[in-house]
Every structure is written in C-alpha cells, then in structure tokens.
Amino acid sequence: SQQGEEDPQALSIQEGENATMNCSYKTSINNLQWYRQNSGRGLVHLILIRSNEREKHSGRLRVTLDTSKKSSSLLITASRAADTASYFCATGGGTSYGKLTFGQGTILTVHP
C-alpha cells in the first residue's frame, strides 16, 4: 500500500457518475496532496489538505482527511471522460521539502 495505499487500484465508471478514491498512510503528516497523471506523463497537482483540515473543495473535487484513521478520500463529482487518468495521493513536505511519498495510485476510467 501507499504510504499510503490507494483503494481501489482501478475504477471504471460512466460519465456523470461520481468517483471516490481512498488513500491510507502510515506516519504523521503535515499535509496530504492528490495528483493526477494522464497516460504515463507528468503529474499535475490537484489539491492539498493540511493536517488540521478535515475537508476541502476545489471545483468538482472534494477531499477529506481523517488523521485519526490516517486516511483520505478524493471525490470527483459529475465525472467526465477527460477525468480518465491515474490519481495518486502523496505525503511529505515540511522539512522533507520535495521528498514526497506517493501511493500506488488509482486508475480511473470514465466511459462516455
């Protein structure tokens, strides 16, 4: 599992449906981030949630964080075919600067 493990490993849905991906981690964190990767290309930063936050929204994205359970979820509402990608959670920052520990990722396929 990812320092985090991501769950599910793969998710296939229809356009318009919501997609929920989960991430668990093992150590205490400063923040948790979510990234998207299209077709094995570069990663794009989606959203960051700090350890003292429980929920955060950005457009169609909603992220939750439960530090007591060491877990986070990413919800994409009203999914589109263009959301098809791999999604990774990542922990790090603070004195670790650019050293992020990524999860194994969830492959999301949105069918038109």
Q: Which residues bind another protein (CB under 8 A)?
A: 2, 30-31, 33, 35, 40-45, 48, 88, 90, 92-100, 102-105
Contacts for 52 with CB less than 8 Å, ≥ 6 apart: none
* Of 23, 20, 1, 2, residue with least CA distance to 11: 20
Q: Residue 112 CB, nearest distance to another protein (Å)?
A: 25
Kindly tell me which of 69 and 97 has the beta carbon lying closer to another protein: 97
Kindly tell me which of 65 and 103 has the beta carbon lying closer to another protein: 103
Dihedral sign for Cα atoms in the order 33, 43, 78, 69: negative
Q: Residue 56 CB, nearest distance to another protein (Å)?
A: 13
CA angle centred on 82, ends 101 and 79, rounded to 5°: 85
Kindly tell me which of 97 and 112 has the beta carbon lying closer to another protein: 97
Q: Residue 12 CB, nearest distance to another protein (Å)?
A: 17
